[in-house]
Amino acid sequence: MTSIRTHIAFALAPSVFAVLYGAGTLVVLCLPRLADHSARLLPNAMLVAFFATPPIAYALAPRLRARSAGPPPRNDRR
């Protein structure tokens, strides 16, 4: 049985991958020296993003957990 953290990490992974790959793509295409070699560097950016995604998503997962399982506390001060 997998943990809640793992489930959250699996749900978060596509978003993390998209951000990492987008950042790598921007770096490659915005720098003229790298843009000349984009046919070789863009697949490498994808591989780096692919292998960096699981540990980053797993590290971010606890931050997305609910603080409590019950309803939110009511503020009855009057």
- Cα–chain center distance at 41: 21
Q: Is residue 8 part of a domain?
A: no
Q: State the total domains in the chain.
A: 1
**Predicted pLDDT of residue 2:** 78
Q: What are phi and psi of 39, to 5 degrees?
A: -65, -30
Q: Is residue 12 part of a domain?
A: no
Rounded to a whole number of angstroms, the distance between the first and last alpha carbons of the chain is: 47
Query: What residues make up the domain containing 45?
Result: 20-63
The pTM of this model reads: 0.79
Structure-token match 């863009």, residue found: 42
Confidence tier at 11 by pLDDT (50, 70, 90): very high
Average pLDDT over every residue of 22-35: 94
34-78 residue pLDDT tens: 999 999 999 999 999 999 999 999 999 988 887 666 666 677 765
**Predicted pLDDT of residue 68:** 61
